[in-house]
Amino acid sequence: SQKIEQNSEALNIQEGKTATLTCNYTNYSPAYLQWYRQDPGRGPVFLLLIRENEKEKRKERLKVTFDTTLKQSLFHITASQPADSATYLCAPDTGRRALTFGSGTRLQVQP
């Protein structure tokens, strides 16, 4: 069956460092993969979409990679700030009529 895995343990890093979050998927080949940010008590907010033929996508301090061989996407935040603290969700296309979301990884940036 299709499976999406994100590290359930929180990632703690120091301000100014690069945060790297991982999204692994198994048993299928998504054509697209989306990343969202979710703050406590709020709904998810779209950040980036990457297509299977794009190895990398950037937006300001954010970078997403998509390795279809490893079946993995990496989400990077460079020069991280305490305001980047949130839960980050990946959502690979599963061929169904809606997105399927991973359970998310919580990022905590320490000042």
Partner 1 sequence: NAGVTQTPKFRVLKTGQSMTLLCAQDMNHEYMYWYRQDPGMGLRLIHYSVGEGTTAKGEVPDGYNVSRLKKQNFLLGLESAAPSQTSVYFCASSRQTGGTYSNQPQHFGDGTRLSIL
Residues that bind partner 1 (CB under 8 A): 8, 30-32, 34, 41-46, 49, 51, 89, 91, 93-94, 96-104
Sheet strand arrangement including 105-110: 11-14, 105-110, 86-92, 32-38, 45-51
Strands, sheet with 19-26, edge to edge from the N-terminal-most edge strand: 3-6, 19-26, 72-77, 62-67, 56-59
* Min CB(27)–partner 1 separation in Å: 16
Residue in the structure block whose two tokens are 């991280």 = 80
Of 34 and 65, the one with the shorter C-beta distance to partner 1 is: 34
Provide, rounded to whole angstroms, the least separation between the CB of residue 49 and partner 1.
7
Q: Which is nearer to partner 1, 68 or 100 (CB)?
A: 100
For partner 1, the closer CB: 45 or 79: 45
Residue (20 or 101) nearer to partner 1, CB? 101
**Token pair in block for residue 97:** 């009529």
